[in-house]
Amino acid sequence: MSKIGAPNLPLQLDRDSIVPLYRQLYEGLREAILSGSLPESTRLPPERAMAERLEINRSTVVRAYRELVADGLLDQRVGSGSRVASRKRAVSAGERGASVPWWATPPPWRVGEFPMVLGELAAKQEPGRISFVQGVAPDEPSPLVELAGSFARVASDPRFILSYGDSEGYEPLREAISARMRARGARSVVAKNVIVLTGSTQGIAIVAQSLAEGGDEIIVESPSYPGALQIFQICGLRAIPIPVDDEGMRVDHVEAILRTRRPRFIYTMPSMHNPTNVTMNADRRERLATIARRAGVPIIEDDPYGPLASHRETPLLALAPEHVVYLSTFSKTVAPSLRVGWMVAPRTIVDRLLMRKQAYDMATSLYVQAAIVDYLERGYDAHIEQLREELHLRRKIADEAIAKYWPAGVRAIGPSGGFYLWVATPREMRARPLLDAAERLGASFLFGEAFFANSGGDHNFRLALTAVRRDEIPEGIRRIGEAMRSLRG
């Protein structure tokens, strides 16, 4: 429990609550303003000072203050800081808030403390900007010709155009997926274990809602995939962050947690991890599978980039088939517009997961599924080989540009071969101000805070090297380097 003595105001933040810290701070200040405990024109502590005194992230304070400004309760002006708005405006804002119907006001734990990443993505897609934000397959090599042929062949059969299809997915696709999983070492997988999804992110939501409920603890990597973190926050789940090093998730930390606590599941991206591009080594995979079996805790293995790994480690699914729900997708390796992923689940829960899938959308597009089956037989594997080469080439280009344009002390973390470059900046260089400076110069990236469930990432950011044309990589990195130098004066 953290306290702060602002003028006439003791604030308390409960770190064990499922209510996000920013929301607790917002509610406490709002109540104090409306009650008169914070009189008109009272100056609140600067964001950094408030964060230090409460021992929380500055971004938490920024978000609480912004919401108070949006509600008309605070005024913010350059040079004068944040002050309580006029009494008339504050009372009016309080009355407006009171008139909002209950169904238009979500419970406070429904929004995560980390930034809403989708809004950040949309804001950065502007003409002339070199945006390293979105993790999408690169424009080269393009599967368009072969994929268009697959769709054309399927379109000649009206069954695929006019039918819903089965909720669990098109059987030939499920058979093809199970055969590929067996080839990777998961020998027990059969089509009955496979559910086709409308993107693997749908699978994360289905599994999270099926295995846990609001207030439950879960284990996540830190940093981790923002889309998963957002889903877990919406579900009201409480994340226990586990650090990631250059060999993957710190499984020894997981083991220590499981000695005293019983999280509902472990979420991990062990191959070509987003955002670090690190792959968990074989020893850690064996150990994680063993301790999960021993503790009876299921693992969600998110593997969208697994087919691209040069040295493909055995999936966790192969090591603990009765304790792993495996997720993957064609959206990352072929095209994001396909929106087709899949889930492999133990037979003990596959029916429960299928019922949840049916509640979402009944079935994934049969037309697209049938086209993917055709493409798997004709061009997919050759495309994957070309894509691997392209990813290594893009990283080489990026490394050369970084060496040329970025100042000393900025480190690119993680191996070659993936979509992403995870960057660590020196202590005096924070990612948020750097992003602001880079955007003014026409470049953008995703700041590190988005990848942490609770706090962290102030000195990290992610570049999606696949989000731009290959020839734009050096210029984008040059612009970011110019932004770095502008911050250093």
The residue ranges of every structural domain in the chain are 2-110, 117-141+383-488, 144-378
| Type and span of the H or E element at 39 | none
Q: What share of the chain is helix, strand, coil (3-state, %, to 5)?
A: 50, 15, 35
What's residue 78's pLDDT?
Answer: 57
| pLDDT at residue number 103 | 42
Check for a shared fold between 117-141+383-488 and 144-378: no
> Is CATH 3.40.640.10 what the domain over 144-378 is classified as, yes or no?
yes
Question: How far is it, in rounded angstroms, from Cα 423 to Cα 25?
Answer: 31
Supply the DSSP symbol for 43: B
* Residue 118 token pair: 């989708």
Q: Is the model's pTM score more than 0.85?
A: no
pLDDT of 227: 92
Note every long-range contact of 65-73, with CB atoms under 8 Å and residues 24 or more positions apart, other chains counting: 67/22, 67/26, 68/26, 68/29, 68/30, 68/33, 71/30, 71/96, 71/97, 72/96, 73/29, 73/30, 73/33, 73/34
Measured distance CA(157)–CA(234) in Å, rounded: 41
Token readout for 308 is 């691209």
Domain 2-110 has CATH 1.10.10.10: yes
The one-character DSSP state at 103 is: G
Instruction: Annotate 423-470 with DSSP letters as a single string.
Output: EE--TT--HHHHHHHHHHTTEE-EEGGGG-SSS--TTEEEEETTSS-G
- CATH classification number, 117-141+383-488, choose in 3.90.1150.10, 3.40.50.1820, 3.30.450.20, 3.40.50.170: 3.90.1150.10
Query: Can you say how many angstroms the Cα of residue 277 is from the centroid of all Cα atoms in its chain?
Result: 14
> pLDDT of the chain along its 489 residues, tens only?
444 444 456 678 888 776 778 888 988 898 888 888 888 888 899 888 888 888 888 878 888 888 888 778 888 775 667 888 876 555 555 554 444 443 444 444 333 444 445 455 545 567 789 999 988 889 888 888 899 999 999 998 888 777 788 999 999 999 999 999 999 999 999 999 999 999 899 999 999 999 998 889 999 999 999 999 999 988 889 999 999 999 999 999 999 999 999 999 999 999 999 999 999 999 999 999 999 999 999 999 999 998 888 767 899 999 999 999 999 999 998 888 889 999 999 999 999 999 999 998 888 999 999 999 999 999 899 999 999 999 999 999 999 999 999 999 999 988 888 999 999 999 999 998 999 999 999 999 999 988 998 878 999 999 999 999 999 999 999 999 999 999 886
